[in-house]
Amino acid sequence: MLAGVEILMTANTRIDVQDANGNQAYLQLEGHAGKPVRIGGVEDVAGFWYGITYSSDHANNHIKYATISNAGKPIPSNFSAALTVDNVPRGSLKVENTTIRKSGEHGIAVAKVYSSSLEVSELEFLQVAGTTIYKWGN
């Protein structure tokens, strides 16, 4: 998605970036200073939608100059985050110059064993109910 694109997510929706039939999917959000890509909820409520889960290890999984809002819908008996780098199969993500705001739980979640699959720089977290970067597992 290019600079200035805005996507409004409806309640209980998510974006899953996953492999299909041996082809690695990717999601690249490329805004620029003053014109970020914006993905938020139809309603400006923390945890309105589930968030984005990266389950592919594609080199183009990159978020730059973006705002992710209203994601991280709490899940009973589990955790949630605006952005999740999954461990089944292994996902990867590079995030820079990005704001995560009004997450219902965590900002970004990543499995401890795959912490190196997440690269971050110049992040801003606003009104995140849980941990800004949550690492799960052993």
pLDDT of residue 135: 97
Helices (H) and strands (E) in the chain, counts: 0, 11
DSSP string, 18-82: --BTTBPP--EEE-BTTB-EEEEESS--TTSS-EEEE----TT-EEEEEEEES-----TTS--EE
Estimate to the nearest angstrom the gap between the alpha carbon of 89 and the chain centroid.
16
- Kindly report, residue by residue over 68-95, the tens digit of the pLDDT: 999 999 999 999 999 999 998 889 999 9
- Kindly report, residue by residue over 2-38, the tens digit of the pLDDT: 788 999 999 999 999 998 777 889 999 999 999 999 9
CA-CA distance, 55 to 61, in Å (whole number)?
A: 10
Identify the bridge partners of residue 52 per DSSP, sorted by sequence position.
15, 83
What does pTM read for this prediction? 0.96
Mean pLDDT over all residues of the chain?
95
| 115 three-state secondary structure | helix
Query: Phi-psi region for residue 115, left (φ > 0), alpha (ψ -120 to 50) or beta?
Result: alpha
